[in-house]
Structure 1
């Protein structure tokens, strides 16, 4: 089948990773960066989780960026917004050390290039990170931001996975027909929900996440190597 567009998840799909290990390393680097500003490590991590949860629950009334910083200000006060420059600097610099706990699969580049030859390619990564952090993770995977016609970040998105409206926003923004699109991801709950919109799906099993132990028989699935053969057929 020819697709109008292929939508890819990033973490655990194009960029192999153990999510728990990545988050632990990421938070450790962040705490180390901002501790000199007077942030308590536990409170900071709790605050980031609260901001993340608020983005996941976003009802579309504002960008995820605004939702996150709204929570941050509610905890620390408006005056702490002056530290946002330090957080931005973290993602541009110290955050890069988190690459060491991620894997690398040379097939990611081959797969994206193969899909680009056949149609349009979108990076549908959960938009809970700023653009600078997302672009970094794209490069860790051996790709470039320009490999995708559109990339979701917390600056340009009003919803998050697994909310179907996250995907609807992409489809509407890019003028895509869901019945002619393929979603490729490793998370059963967050990525395969696109079936509800009429999209075709492919579940990548290399770093499979199936938090609710769903039956996987309904999904086309396989390794990255299997998917490369699938898309080439």
Structure 2
């Protein structure tokens, strides 16, 4: 095996131990609590966010995910996203923190990430870039980490694709100057994260909060609990 120089981690359901559906419910519940009293229609707001998210997932790289989201969201809301942006950023920095209640256990990943950095590897937070940077930082707070603990973090401001588009991974490797054949991807989604293996990335599938909507055979991937995989990674680097 090539010497490992870079490790990519998914965030939701991987570094953060929660069920995605429970998290989304908590996210929209807290979003409504903030925006409905401001005069926004809850159903329209949620519909517009989902539609904007769909545009990011289908993004072909011509614009950032942020721009792709803004165009679709503004059209459906019949209100410019830019008018609401400060309220959104304020939400992600504050009320969004309440979604921490969906964590299944209290974990601190800081020592583990530091141990990887101490071994001289680049560490990338390869979270699907459908949220702004501030929302990523809020979630990292829950597990004892900061944006600065990573060599690169994908957000909707700096990304032009989403998982499972292989161009999402290609963009990361281009930006950080790493070779996919010398890299590991750790994630809990059997499609979105494991597809990186098609570029030559070594993959590890975290099964604690497994997402496998396509019912693929997970035995084709090295898989196990986060703690099991963390130990395996420390052995191979």
- Relative to the length of structure 1, the TM-score reads 0.95
Quote the offset at 1:107 in angstroms: 6.2
Query: Which of the numbers 124, 127, 130 marks the counterpart of 2:126?
Result: 124
Asked if residue 139 in structure 1 is aligned to residue 141 in structure 2, the reply is yes
Match of 2:89 in 1: 88
Q: What is the total number of aligned residue pairs between the two structures?
A: 233
What is the Cα-based RMSD across aligned positions, in Å?
Answer: 1.4
The more displaced of 107-116 and 170-179 is: 107-116
Residue of structure 2 in register with 1:151 after alignment: 153
- 1:194 aligns to what? 196
Match 2:222 to one of 198, 220, 223: 220
Change (3 A) 1:150 1:41: same
Please, which runs of 5 or more residues in structure 2 have no aligned partner? none
1-structure distance, mates of 2:154, 2:29? 25
Which stretch shifts more, 123-132 or 137-146?
Answer: 137-146
| Aligned equivalents of 1:63, 1:103: Cα separation in 2 | 33
Question: 1:180 aligned to 182, 190, 193, which one?
Answer: 182
> Contact 2:44–2:77 (CA<8 Å) still a contact in 1?
no
1:102 aligns with 103
User: How do 1:22-101 and structure 2 match up within 5 A?
Assistant: 22-79=23-80, 81-101=82-102
Contact 1:107–1:225 (CA<8 Å) still a contact in 2?
no
Aligned match for 2:164, one of 147, 153, 162? 162
Q: 1:18 to 1:125 in 2, by over 3 A?
A: same
Paired position in structure 1 for 2:232: 230
Deviations 1:32-63 (A, max 9, x none): 11112322111111111000000000000000
> Structure 1 residue 106: deviation in Å?
3.3
Residues 105/226 of structure 1: CA separation in 2 closer, same or farther (3 Å cut): farther
Cα separation, 1, equivalents of 2:117 and 2:106: 18
In structure 2, the CA distance between the partners of 1:161 and 1:48, relative to structure 1 (3 Å rule), is same
Aligned 8 A contact 2:70 2:81 in 1: no
Q: Which residue of 1 aligns with 2:13?
A: 12
Gaps in structure 1 of 5+ consecutive residues: none
Change beyond 3 A, Cα 1:179–1:105? farther
1:210 is displaced (CA, Å) by 0.8
Structure 1 SS opposite 2:8: strand
Q: Give the Cα separation in 1 of the matches to 2:226 and 2:190.
A: 16
